[in-house]
Amino acid sequence: MPAMEAIQTVERLPSMRQGQEGLAALALVREELALVEQKMRSLGDVGFAPLAEAFLKILESGGKRLRPAVTILSARFYPCPLEPLISLAAAVETLHTATLVHDDVIDNALLRRGTPTLNASWSHGTTILAGDYLFARAASFAAEAANVRLMHIFARTLMIIVDGELRQLFSLRNWQQPREEYYRRIFAKTASLFSAACESGAVLSGAPEPHVQALKDYGYHLGMAFQIMDDILDFTGDDAALGKPVGNDLRQGTLTLPAFYYLQAHPEAAASLEAELRSGDGGVERVVALIRNSPAIERAHEEARHFADQAKASLMPLPDNPYRQAMASLADFAVAREK
Report, in Å, the least distance between residue 64 CB and ligand IPE: 4
Query: Cβ closer to ligand IPE: 150 or 225?
Result: 225
Contact between 32 and ligand IPE by CB under 6 A: the answer reads no
Q: How far apart are CA 327 and CA 330, in angstroms?
A: 5
Q: Which stretch binds ligand IPE (CB under 6 A): 34-42, 106-114, 278-286, 313-321?
A: 106-114
Residues touching ligand IPE: how many (CB under 6 A)? 14
- Nearest residue to Mg ion, scored by beta-carbon proximity: 107
β-partners of residue 116 are 111
What is the per-residue binding string for ligand IPE in 218-237, x denoting contact by CB under 6 A?
---------x--x-------
- Nearest residue to ligand IPE, scored by beta-carbon proximity: 63
Interface pick for Mg ion out of 32, 37, 93, 103 (rule CB under 5 A): 103
Residue 76 binding partner per list Mg ion, ligand IPE, none, with a CB distance cut-off of 5 to 8 Å that depends on partner kind: none
Interface pick for ligand IPE out of 190, 195, 200, 314 (rule CB under 6 A): 190
What is the per-residue binding string for ligand IPE in 66-85, x denoting contact by CB under 6 A?
x-------------------
Report, in Å, the least distance between residue 170 CB and Mg ion: 16
In residues, how long is the chain? 339
Contact between 189 and ligand IPE by CB under 6 A: the answer reads yes
Contact between 244 and ligand IPE by CB under 6 A: the answer reads yes
Interface pick for ligand IPE out of 23, 28, 54, 100 (rule CB under 6 A): 100
Three-state secondary structure of the chain:
CCHHHHHHHHHHCHHHHHCCCCCHHHHHHHHHHHHHHHHHHHHHHCCCHHHHHHHHHHHHCCCCCHHHHHHHHHCCCCCCCHHHHHHHHHHHHHHHHHHHHHHHHHCCCCEECCEECHHHHCCHHHHHHHHHHHHHHHHHHHHCCCCHHHHHHHHHHHHHHHHHHHHHHHCCCCCCCCHHHHHHHHHHHHHHHHHHHHHHHHHHCCCCHHHHHHHHHHHHHHHHHHHHHHHHHHHHCCHHHHCCCCCHHHHHCCCCHHHHHHHHHCCCHHHHHHHHHHCCCCHHHHHHHHHHCCCHHHHHHHHHHHHHHHHHHHCCCCCCCHHHHHHHHHHHHHHHCCC
Residues of 126-163 as b/e, b for ≥16 C-beta within 10 angstroms?
A: bbbebbebbbebbbebbeebebeebbebbeebbebbee
Residue 189 binding partner per list Mg ion, ligand IPE, none, with a CB distance cut-off of 5 to 8 Å that depends on partner kind: ligand IPE
Interface pick for ligand IPE out of 32, 37, 107, 199 (rule CB under 6 A): 107
Q: Which stretch binds Mg ion (CB under 5 A): 1-9, 209-217, 223-231, 319-327?
A: 223-231
Q: Are strands 111-112 and 115-116 parallel, antiparallel or unpaired?
A: antiparallel
Contact between 230 and Mg ion by CB under 5 A: the answer reads yes
Q: Which stretch binds ligand IPE (CB under 6 A): 23-31, 59-67, 293-301, 309-317?
A: 59-67
Contact between 103 and ligand IPE by CB under 6 A: the answer reads yes
Residue 227 binding partner per list Mg ion, ligand IPE, none, with a CB distance cut-off of 5 to 8 Å that depends on partner kind: ligand IPE
Residues of this chain that bind ligand IPE (CB under 6 A): 63-64, 66, 99-100, 103, 107, 109, 113, 189-190, 227, 230, 244
Residues of this chain that bind Mg ion (CB under 5 A): 103, 107, 230
